[in-house]
Amino acid sequence: MLTEYFAQNLEQMVSKIAQHGVCVMDHFLPPATIVELADEVISLSVISKMQVAGTGRTHKTINKDLRGDSIYWLNEAEATSAQQVYFAHMETLRQQLNQDLYLGLFALESHLALYTAGTGYKKHIDRFKGSDTTQPQRQISCILYLNQDWQDSNGGHLRLYLNPKTETPEPLHLDISPVAGRFVMFLSDTFYHEVLPATQDRMSLTAWFLTR
């Protein structure tokens, strides 16, 4: 079920995490799978199954100023065929990360996300330093973009701040355009990042590998 391209690039992706803590890879899944996942976001939105995303430990606090997306949590037991392709690749990636970097990643939590035009997600980090270490922790953030024919002028970049763990002074950053098939992975406790508003709806499949 894995693409040859993915299999050929797997070790390099993991070594980029080891070296830089960040990795960007295009053509992560077959183009047809990306189209199917995007269609699923649109269908879920039409039937009102995409839910306004929250923030904070319980994910219950809704703060539209901070974060404007709607999300749908995936359940691997009920995965569609396109989601099964995604999960198969992510499972292989998890095993390779554990094998090469001894990360002890044991699970993946994932959701589809839809940012309607004009919305974004302000600068944040996916794991806070003071978080409860008796709970599973987000170790690696993974985002797969689903936007066909996306132009740079549409905005919606993921702005990844490259000065690890510091919020100030205003650090170097990388702006990543959310084009279909692009996959971004980074250490959850290290990199502040934000989603810049776009001129069009912006779709993604976002996930976190967890450690204990």
Q: Which residues bind ligand OGA (CB under 6 A)?
A: 113, 121, 126, 143, 158, 193, 195, 204, 206
Which lies closer to Mn ion via its Cβ, residue 86 or residue 191? 191
Judge contact between 211 and 103, C-beta under 8 A: yes
Number of residues that bind Mn ion (CB under 5 A): 1
Phi, psi of 195 (to 5 degrees): -110, 120
Query: Which residue of the chain is nearest ligand OGA when measured via CB?
Result: 158
Q: How far is the CB of 59 from Mn ion (least distance, A)?
A: 13
Which lies closer to Mn ion via its Cβ, residue 40 or residue 126? 126
Judge contact between 173 and 161, C-beta under 8 A: yes
Query: Which residue of the chain is nearest Mn ion when measured via CB?
Result: 126
- Classify strands 202-211 and 173-176 as parallel, antiparallel or unpaired: unpaired
Which lies closer to ligand OGA via its Cβ, residue 89 or residue 202? 202
* Residue 69 makes contact with Mn ion by CB under 5 A: no
Q: Closest by alpha carbon to 203, among 36, 18, 23, 25?
A: 36
Which lies closer to ligand OGA via its Cβ, residue 2 or residue 66? 66
Which lies closer to ligand OGA via its Cβ, residue 11 or residue 152? 152
Q: Which distant-in-sequence residues (6+ apart) come within 8 Å of 212 by Cβ? A: 104, 106, 136, 137
Q: Which range in 2-10, 18-26, 63-71, 119-127 contacts Mn ion by CB under 5 A? A: 119-127
Q: How far is the CB of 203 from ligand OGA (least distance, A)?
A: 9
Say which entry of Mn ion, ligand OGA, none residue 201 contacts (CB below 5 to 8 A, set by partner kind): none
Q: What's the Cα-to-Cα distance from 66 to each of 23, 98, 119, 152, 180, rounded to whole Å?
A: 25, 33, 9, 23, 25
Report d(CA 158, CA 12) in Å as an integer. 22
Residues engaged in binding Mn ion (CB under 5 A): 126
